[in-house]
Amino acid sequence: MEKHPHALRLCAFICITFSSLIHLVEAQDQKGFISLDCGLSPNEPPFDDSKTGLTYSTDDGFVQTGKTGRIQKELEASYRKIYWTLRYFPEGTRNCYTLNVTEGTSYLITALFVYGNYDGLNKYPRFDLHLGPNFWETIDMSIWTNGTFEEIIHKTTSKYPNDVTDRDWTPYFNGTQWTEVTSLNVKISSNDYNLPQSVMASASTPKSAFAPWNFSWSIFPSTTQFYIYMHFAEIQTLQANETREFSVSVNGKFAYERYSPTKLSMETIFLSKPQQCEEGKCIVELLRTSNSTLPPLMNAFEIYTVIEFPQLETNQDDVLAIKSIQNTYDLKRINWQGDPCVPKEFLWDGLNCDKSETSMPPIVTFLNLSSSKLTGNIAPAIRNLTHLQELDLSNNNLTGGVPEFLADIKSLLVINLSGNNLNGSIPQALLQKKGLNLITHDGNPDLTCAGKPCVNKTLGSKKKNVVVLVVVSVVFVVVLGSALACFCVFKKKNTSNSQGPSSYTEVSDPRTTGSSEPAIITKNRRFTYSEVITMTNNFERVLGKGGFGMVYHGAVNGTEQVAVKLLSHSSSQGYKEFKAEVELLLRVHHKNLVALVGYCDEGENLALIYEYMANGDLREHMSGKRGGSILNWETRLKIVVESAQGLEYLHNGCKPPMVHRDVKTTNILLNEHFQAKLADFGLSRSFPIEGETHVSTVVAGTPGYLDPEYYRTNWLNEKSDVYSFGIVLLEIITNQPVINQSREKPHIAEWVGLMLTKGDIKTIVDPKLYGDYDSGSVWRAVELAMSCLNPSSARRPTMSQVVIELNECLAYENSRGGTSQNMNSQSSIEMSMNFDIGVTPDAR
């Protein structure tokens, strides 16, 4: 995409959405039709278009975002007035026009696009068009420099003076092969297709009475399906000895074998099933029969290509509830446009949705309006989010009581009301709701639980079956940390049972007495469970949740922020995994790896305490879920360089070397300075270095990131991490999901490999970068990623080589001086562009 992907004119945005109620009516009455001049000032009156006679008005009120512009003055004479003004969208990833429609009704939508160098940059924009949650078309203005338009018939939006359904009929005549037949001032009776009289009053026939009438066209891609509708009426007066009869075929298949048009009466022939053309070459042919004395005749025809819209829109009850909540609190969020849940990459901030049932509409399961400056009472519309599991209204200025209807939402498991000014008594039904975690303290001083301050209730022990404190944050963050020491030493020393920050402590698991599992030996601080409760303020603030358990925010000595990972009793991971992660973290010390602040090993209470990482994980920033702008190319490169350094240290700096086994973007965490650190070593293992680099082990890791060689053989080596890191590189280049079943090739490695065989790098690079990168730097990163994904692990680079290559990519980007450079990349690593995309792992 160009750097300025501005959307031009109506529908030149990411999506169109619908509510209800508009009707199709007769052409002579414009009621029920919407004709918008995008960018026309709301202070300007509506005007009539000189060509169509349609009345155009401002688009103000149909769209919430965007800026208005005007094509260059010297170009205005070349265009009708409706093209002079425009609306462009420099902010946000999705900008939507919302139109009211009647459910179940078919509408014709026409969108017009002209660039007109409105910004003086002479850079033609390229952007995507969506209808609701589904992709419609890509608009590339560099192809259509004089403007273009898109039309679609959608059942659930529409006028030209002569057509009641707003179709724009274009005359076409092949003068070398056809003869035009016209009939003036003749009334032709219509059928359900309602063609204008002026269209049906003319026709074409072959110049030679014995020649067939044919029309051919090309369609792309060749697999595209289409419907064709052919409209006939006999408009000539035939003599008694004259007959017109012909066969009608489409791509060699008969639609009608012996057809005679009816005098002054419109009839339509069509094939009820969608058609395809061999190699994209299509033909309609009318062939005179032996009984006919006159050649075939064609009045008009329509061709409609089929666009699949597989994505269901969000459950309508949930949509209405969310929009009611938005109106109640007057929420102004730029991405709260279009469908709340889909497409996934445009999910509204503060929402999570369940789309697991592909045959059912997505449902809203998580609503986070924390710190959104909400005032007034808790919105009644929340009761209509019947599938809601987690609700966070913390840190606002809400007043009034806690509504009892919250207890009626059966799926609701977590409610966070802390940091407001709520009052009164919490309803008994809510306090007694089974499985509910309710957070009300830290604020709300006038709120009581059964007549007592709620803070007293929530500070009870596990044995009190009343209310448990849990806080769920806006985003899922598994927060880990790292230290700066650069050594890797594993010491074992038997000492006394003294427990202090400077003493070695032998830790045994009381549940495994007599077990062969050795105890943890460490000199990092061992915390008691009561200290963990204190540092987390009784587990007040949740940072995230993983397979191990919940992760809470905490502070050691009231100053040092930490993340506390508490082992859940229902977790599939047990003491063995806990012990493995502790021992590993005690061995590795690097600025780009997590560091263990301490741990708790007290009976059934197991916890790991890490440095707090304020900016979450890389995936969140790539997707935009953390808010703010999308990471630029330079920042992405810095992050992967630092991540590669951490991984290189595991492979070469530790004795014995370590394999991470779960390298992915969600395990790359960022601190307050956006320094990257590798996290989550629960799956890591050592491998020998004395003449053998492989260790047989059980396959572990994340689907999509798994080395196909490792996947097939269960043989583990450091090159398995290199493969996973190659997938991470492709993610930061493309900003595409690792697995996407809607792509031609679902796995990201397969898809990029396919694009490279076509020489198409523009479709690979994240369009949200808007072309703001050094092309040589990107090409080099792509080549590096593909070398990391070589099916043969022996031919992949080492992480040391990866670090060198990435630093060179960063150097090229830093030296470009703000303009994109082209260069022939001469990499020091063997690059194979004939990447075998057939050996990448399937999603499972």
List, in sequence order, every beta strand (DSSP E) within 308-350.
none
Dihedral over Cα of 119, 124, 126, 129: its sign: positive
- Report whether the peptide linkage leading into residue 296 is cis, meaning its omega lies within 30 degrees of zero: no
Rounded to whole angstroms, the Cα distance separating 149 from 140 reads: 11
430 vs 515: CA distance, rounded Å: 45
DSSP count for the chain of H helices, then E strands: 13, 44
Distance CA 763, CA 778 (A): 13
What is the SS3 assignment for 572-618? Answer: CCCHHHHHHHHHHHHHCCCCCECCEEEEEEECCEEEEEEECCCCCEH
49 is catalytic: no
**Residues of each annotated binding site for ATP:** 565
Measured between alpha carbons, how far is 544 from 478 in angstroms, rounded to an integer? 6
Tell me how far apart the alpha carbons of residues 52 and 83 are, in angstroms, rounded to a whole number. Answer: 14
H runs (alpha helix) in 332-479: 428-431, 454-458
Q: Which of the residues 166, 349, 601, 662 is marked catalytic?
A: 662
* Residues that constitute the known binding site: 565
Q: Kindly report each contact of residues 453-460 with a partner whose C-beta sits within 8 Å and lies 24 or more positions away, as own/partner.
A: 454/426, 458/538, 459/538
- What is the Cα Rg of the chain in Å? 33
**C-beta separation of 150 from 139 below 8 A:** yes
Query: Residue 342 contacts by C-beta under 8 Å, 6 or more apart in sequence?
Result: 133, 311, 312, 313, 314, 353, 355, 362
Long-range contacts of 169-172 (CB under 8 A, 24+ apart): 169/195, 169/196, 169/199, 169/300
Torsion angle in degrees (nearest 10) through CA of 56, 58, 61, 63: 90
Helix axis angle for 748-757 and 775-788, nearest 10°, is: 120
Which amino acid, residue 813? E
What is the spatial distance between Cα 407 and Cα 402, in angstroms, rounded to a whole number? 10
What phi and psi, each to the nearest 5 degrees, are found at residue 131?
-115, 110
How many Å apart are CA 548 and CA 581, to the nearest integer?
11
Does residue 343 have a cis peptide bond before it, meaning omega lies within 30 degrees of 0? Answer: yes
Taking Cα atoms as reference points, which of 246, 267, 266 lies closest to residue 257? 246
d(Cα 398, Cα 417) in Å, to the nearest integer? 9
| 824 membership: H or E segment, kind and range | none
Structure tokens at 676: 């990257």
- Which one, of 646, 687, 638, lies nearest residue 663 by Cα? 646
- Residues noted as catalytic: 662
